[in-house]
Structure 1
């Protein structure tokens, strides 16, 4: 399980170190794709990625929404292998999508990780602390999670 926040520098070539706590679970490979509805990337272990793909393959390809989702989510995915220093090379297309620059934050969210530009992550985090105009109502969120059984 991936949890916590880990800041890392990204070099000019787009290489970034996978946090050691995440590497322990990932091994040498990570699958990275575009995040949904937010300017971040999703990163999965091979095992978790295969589970997601298997679920997507069960959906009806006759449905245009399914096809569009698969195009967005799967076509943008990259299978990355860490070098000896634990770095992965994030493609320029993925860096542009998530507006990644010099410093990123790896965020563990259970079965996957998210990769955010450090400033975008701060903006997102401010929504939970009330430091943002478009803040998240934590009471409403808590009630929704309770409805889901959490």
Structure 2
């Protein structure tokens, strides 16, 4: 399981070092794509296959399903580590997530997320204010913390 929060930076060539324990979970080859909330999602190949199957099951007759599938797959790229444990993030993905220098790498259950530090801080502050409300809604869905 991916969990934890780490601060890293991207170099001038678009490379970022990922925490060792996340590298072990991602394997030698993994998939990075546009995530929700303007961050990047990174999946081990096995988890990517699960996501692929779920998205394939959506109806092509629904415009929302087509739009989301395009969004998710068009940004996807297969990545590998270099000898220093860095991964090179493509320019289009760095631009989407506004990744310039300081980044936050998060573990979120079955995936890793990469955020711009500024975007993460903004998101976290907004979410922190509504965290109790969100927890109450989850309880209403029979999810007990």
Unaligned runs of 5+ in 2: none
Partner of residue 48, structure 2: 49
Runs of 4+ in 1 over 3 A off after TM superposition: none
Partner of residue 140, structure 2: 147
Give the 5 Å matches for 1:9-48.
9-36=9-36, 38-48=37-47
Structure richer in helix, relative to its length: 2
How far is the alpha carbon of 1:96 from its aligned partner?
0.4
Q: Distance in 2 between matches of 1:149 and 1:28?
A: 38
User: What TM-score do you get using the length of structure 1 for normalisation?
Assistant: 0.89
SS of residue in 1 equivalent to 2:38? coil
How far is the alpha carbon of 1:64 from its aligned partner?
1.7
Q: Distance in 2 between matches of 1:45 and 1:149?
A: 29
How far is the alpha carbon of 1:30 from its aligned partner?
2.2
- Paired residues, number: 143
Cα RMSD of the aligned pairs, angstroms, is: 1.3
Unaligned runs of 5+ in 1: 130-134
Partner of residue 66, structure 2: 67
